[in-house]
Amino acid sequence: MVNVSSAYILAIIVCAVMFIFSAVVANLISFKPDMSDVSKRKIWFWIFGVFTPVISFCLNYGVFFLKIHARSKQSEFLTAMAIAATVSFVIYIVAGFFAAKISKTGKISNWF
């Protein structure tokens, strides 16, 4: 049985995975004396940020939504999917902001 909380759980998992990918990519980009590496880190952070709600919504649609046959439950779950995708994006941005502020001299500090 598919529950509305499944949409939120999957969205939070996607958010965490994308945040980890963003941190790994930021650490893989080497320092450059002309500071051109800073813009690369910011760009990759925002690319993963945009992918977070898109992947969250698509996974929820493919994994859970297609298995729901009742129209009322579909409508309810579709709303939950949209809210969960938005929440995952907001959590990604807030977590990135806090990580950038905590890591004042590291590679992650260049996200904002």
Res. 111 pLDDT band, cuts 50 70 90: confident
Burial class of residue 104, CB neighbours in 10 A (0-12, 13-18, 19+): exposed
pLDDT at residue 112, rounded to an integer: 82
Interval 19-73: pLDDT, tens: 999 999 999 988 888 888 889 999 999 999 999 999 999 999 999 999 989 998 9
Supply the pTM of this predicted model: 0.90
